[in-house]
């Protein structure tokens, strides 16, 4: 092949080779895919989740991925995680705050402790880990924090009863904006991805019900749910220098669901 015919396999601004990335909620679903994608793109990935067996499977599939068992609501454990990553790898270049949960209790039936716990996982832990990762990023003068929000952080979850999840993800959207404002002058970018309907442990029961699936499809202009790989580009874009002047933004990937 001549030099003129040769094409680069990847635009250099999307390169994340050698960057140190922490991914939470990495034992399944979107988090597992995020860890795989960053690993395939050349990043040194620390995969964080509670389920040790799932992390071991991921590490076996992606040699070089470092598994780290942690409940993100453990404040001391989160501090130990970021300290260890800096000690072992010298930096934290990318943080993907992906761990999350929700439940479909109605507001009249939900136990208040459950509501608090969902916010603790989905919002408070995002704030805590972002603060912890931002310290070495500020010192280095660069870094990218990517929070997993949701279309339910931008719209009501109606007709699904999901107040805990919707409230927490709306908090993630505005937390992303505020932290971006605080840390932008230090070269630390904070953005979010708001997925629409994708297959996951949380969403699959809805898709298993034909009426629920049809309701999702009718509300999505592209008339399908998202495929696992369709968040890869958004992730690499926000993790890399391709988004070097993007901060405080929530990137919606939903097949058009939020257009109405």
Residue 205 above 70 pLDDT?
yes
CATH code, domain carrying 198: 3.40.50.720
Look at residue 260 and tell me if it is in a domain. no
pLDDT recorded at residue 97: 98
Look at residue 33 and tell me if it is in a domain. yes
Look at residue 55 and tell me if it is in a domain. yes
Q: Which residues contact 109 (CB under 8 A, 6 or more apart)?
A: none
Look at residue 243 and tell me if it is in a domain. yes
Higher pLDDT, 128 or 157: 128
Q: How far is CA 130 from CA 5, 40, 143, 182, 208, in A?
A: 44, 24, 11, 12, 35
Q: Measure the CA–CA gap between 119 and 24, rounded to whole angstroms.
A: 16
pLDDT recorded at residue 200: 74
Residue whose structure tokens are 């696992």: 228
pLDDT recorded at residue 54: 97
Residue 1 above 50 pLDDT?
no
Q: Which residues contact 244 (CB under 8 A, 6 or more apart)?
A: 13, 189
Residue 9 above 70 pLDDT?
no
Q: Measure the CA–CA gap between 177 and 121, rounded to whole angstroms.
A: 19
Look at residue 50 and tell me if it is in a domain. yes
Compute the mean pLDDT over every residue in the chain, rounded to the nearest whole number.
Answer: 93
Identify the band that residue 10 occupies on the pLDDT scale cut at 50, 70 and 90: low
Radius of gyration of the chain from Cα atoms?
Answer: 18
The average pLDDT across 197-214 equals 79
Higher pLDDT, 214 or 177: 177
The average pLDDT across 210-221 equals 88
Q: Measure the CA–CA gap between 192 and 87, rounded to whole angstroms.
A: 27
Residue 201 above 80 pLDDT?
no
Look at residue 66 and tell me if it is in a domain. yes
Report the catalytic residues: 165
Closest CA to 118 of 107, 130, 102: 102
Quote the domain boundaries for residue 127: 12-252
pLDDT recorded at residue 3: 41
Look at residue 259 and tell me if it is in a domain. no
Look at residue 258 and tell me if it is in a domain. no
Q: How many domains does the chain have?
A: 1
Helices (H), 184-231: 204-208, 210-219
pLDDT recorded at residue 260: 85
């Amino acid at each position: 092949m001549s030099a003129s015919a040769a094409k680069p396999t990847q635009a250099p601004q999307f390169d994340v080779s050698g960057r140190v990335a922490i991914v939470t909620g990495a034992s399944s679903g979107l988090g597992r895919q995020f860890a795989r994608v960053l690993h395939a793109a050349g990043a040194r990935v620390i995969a964080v989740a509670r389920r040790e067996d799932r992390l071991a499977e991921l590490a076996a599939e992606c040699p070089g991925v470092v598994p780290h068992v942690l409940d993100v609501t453990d404040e001391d454990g989160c501090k130990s995680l970021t300290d260890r990553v800096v000690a072992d790898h010298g930096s934290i270049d990318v943080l993907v705050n992906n761990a999350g949960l929700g439940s479909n209790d109605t507001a009249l039936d939900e136990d208040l402790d459950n509501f608090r716990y969902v916010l603790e996982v989905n919002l408070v832990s995002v704030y805590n880990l972002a603060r912890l990762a931002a310290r070495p990023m500020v010192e280095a003068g660069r870094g990218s924090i990517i929070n997993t929000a949701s279309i339910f952080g931008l719209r009501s979850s109606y007709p699904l009863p999901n107040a805990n999840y919707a409230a927490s993800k709306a908090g993630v959207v505005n937390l992303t904006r505020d932290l971006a404002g605080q840390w932008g002058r230090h070269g630390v970018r904070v953005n979010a991805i708001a997925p629409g309907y994708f297959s996951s442990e949380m969403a699959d029961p809805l898709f298993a019900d034909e009426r629920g699936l049809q309701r999702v499809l009718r509300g999505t202009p592209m008339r399908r749910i998202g495929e696992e790989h369709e968040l890869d580009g958004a992730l690499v874009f926000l993790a890399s220098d391709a988004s070097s002047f993007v901060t405080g933004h929530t990137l919606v990937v939903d097949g058009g669901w939020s257009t109405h």
